Amino acid sequence: MKNLLVKGGLAALPGETEPRLMDIRIKGGSIKELAPMLRPEEGEEILDAAGMEVFPGAIDPHVHFDEPGFTHREDFFHGTSAAARGGVSTVIDMPCTSLPPVTSRARLDKKLSAMGRQAVVDYALFGGLSGLSIDEALAMDMEELAPEVVGFKCYFVSAMDTFTALNHYDFKRAVKRAAELGRPLLLHAEDASYVKAAEKAMKARSLEAGRAASWDDYADSRPEDAEKLAVMAAVILAGPYADSLHIVHAGTSEAAKLAAAAGASCETCPHYLAFSRDDFAQKGSALKTAPPVKSRGEADKLWTLLADGSISFAASDHAPAPEQEKHTGSVWSDYGGIPGTGTLFPYLYSEGYKKGRLDLATFLSVTSGAAAKRYGLSGRKAAIKPGMDADLMFMDPAGSYTVKGGELLSKGNITPFNGMELKGSVRLTLVRGATIWDAEEARKAGRAEAGILANPGYGKQLKWGY
């Protein structure tokens, strides 16, 4: 492994209010020394960072890379390449969108062997709690999975036959068990009884009117109240274990507030910060996710909660799907999910940090620091300081990035961010001192794929306490 000296960059350091001119010495893949003017040592390669802002590599703590079982949507090579391209150096993969889902140690081993050596950035995994196997999970599987995973994921409402929702009683048992094992329990928080009845009613509404179902029908089937009800139930049931509860992809500000008030953590995603349900008219199923984006005005409230720390961090909920699954002809059967891992950091940098909605400390927390803490990875990840892994990304603040779905490096190319112009461009992504993404190589070759310099398999699995 090469020893590097990153020279002349503006480094975003912990506790600072703005990036500072700082050289970074990297040995054996970790950060050894920081000082404004370091002299090169024998055998060191110099990485010129003049004019660049240097950030800790971003963490995307919520991705669906679908392997094994649904790799026509995404796999670890494409998913981690898309991540690296967007400045992400660590991803955390969800247990529910693979076959089999990761609900036991044996199934986790199946996933790891099916994945093989594909990842180009580091990754951690979540374990899953499905209604189909919750008794086995509580009896044994959670305990066996805990050393390998950084949290457990469950749903209050699920559209998957292979990974079903938990009822309130089982959820209560699960959050207690997760707390005993020292792992957070992640919840997809939409209320099942509301959503199922509303979906039925909205289907009837379009039929009675003699028209095809509309995006308003879809949005009305999963409104703000569905999220608020679910979070309220979750914090009641979690009771003294609320600090082990994490609400994934909150799109409703009042739901996020309920979580924060109870001591639970919570994440939101760029699509909730960028769009409202009014945008379905123009974006169609490119914008479809569950929960759906909410009413106009919600996004501003979510920004405020992100800025004041009520929402702990951002995640992409990366979940691509091919054309024939995204555009089926019905709002009900179109696949819900966005290939977002590559636009997560660029979006937050441009619309959050550059526009002054997030100060530097909050931006660092939202894009890497808080997720590393929550998932037991802060020993070596998510800060530019000696002793940490040299996971860095160079942002050219004078550059710009126009999102193009076909150049994300993901298997999916249908994104509501298509065409969006963002300030700043990701020039380089390093994982443990190795260059994974180099925008200059992509530019020279005239194709984005050429910017991925790591061999598949460079990325390694991270466990709690890393």
By beta-carbon proximity to Zn ion, the closer residue of 190 and 317 is 317
Q: How far is the CB of 453 from Zn ion (least distance, A)?
A: 29
Question: Cα angle at 230 between 364 and 197, to 5 degrees?
Answer: 135
Which residues are CB-contacts of 135 (< 8 A; sequence separation ≥ 6)? none
Q: Applying CB under 5 A, which part among 35-43, 133-141, 309-317, 452-460 lies near Zn ion?
A: 309-317
By beta-carbon proximity to Zn ion, the closer residue of 23 and 317 is 317
Q: How far is the CB of 222 from Zn ion (least distance, A)?
A: 14
By beta-carbon proximity to Zn ion, the closer residue of 264 and 269 is 269
By beta-carbon proximity to Zn ion, the closer residue of 5 and 302 is 302
By beta-carbon proximity to Zn ion, the closer residue of 298 and 317 is 317
The total of other beta-carbon atoms located within 10 Å of residue 1's CB is 11
Residues of the chain by 3-state class (helix, strand, coil), percent to 5: 35, 20, 45
List the beta strands (DSSP E) in 23-87: 23-27, 30-35, 45-48, 53-56, 58-63
What mask, x for binding Zn ion by CB under 5 A, covers residues 260 to 299? ----------------------------------------
By CB under 5 A, what part of segment 391-420 binds Zn ion? none
Q: How far is the CB of 62 from Zn ion (least distance, A)?
A: 6
The four Cα atoms 34, 39, 43, 47 give a dihedral, to 10 degrees, of 60
Q: Closest residue (Cβ) to Zn ion? A: 317
Q: How far is the CB of 316 from Zn ion (least distance, A)?
A: 9
Count residues contacting Zn ion (CB under 5 A)? 1
The total of other beta-carbon atoms located within 10 Å of residue 457's CB is 14
By beta-carbon proximity to Zn ion, the closer residue of 65 and 363 is 65
The four Cα atoms 423, 425, 429, 435 give a dihedral, to 10 degrees, of -170
Q: How far is the CB of 257 from Zn ion (least distance, A)?
A: 21
**Calpha distance 274→279 (Å, rounded):** 10
Helix (H) or strand (E) holding 257: helix 253-262
HSE value, Cβ hemisphere, 13 Å, CA-based, for 327: 9
Strands 127-128 and 122-125: unpaired
- Does position 66 interact with Zn ion (CB under 5 A)? The reply is no
Q: Applying CB under 5 A, which part among 112-120, 315-323, 349-357, 366-374 lies near Zn ion?
A: 315-323
By beta-carbon proximity to Zn ion, the closer residue of 8 and 251 is 251
Q: Applying CB under 5 A, which part among 278-286, 311-319, 352-360, 412-420 lies near Zn ion?
A: 311-319
Question: Cα angle at 374 between 56 and 272, to 5 degrees?
Answer: 75
Considering only 93, 317, 389, 391, the residue that binds Zn ion (CB under 5 A) is: 317
Q: How far is the CB of 126 from Zn ion (least distance, A)?
A: 10
Q: Applying CB under 5 A, which part among 38-46, 107-115, 313-321, 418-426 lies near Zn ion?
A: 313-321
Q: Please give the biggest Cα pair distance in the chain.
A: 78
Contacts with Zn ion, residue ranges (CB under 5 A): 317
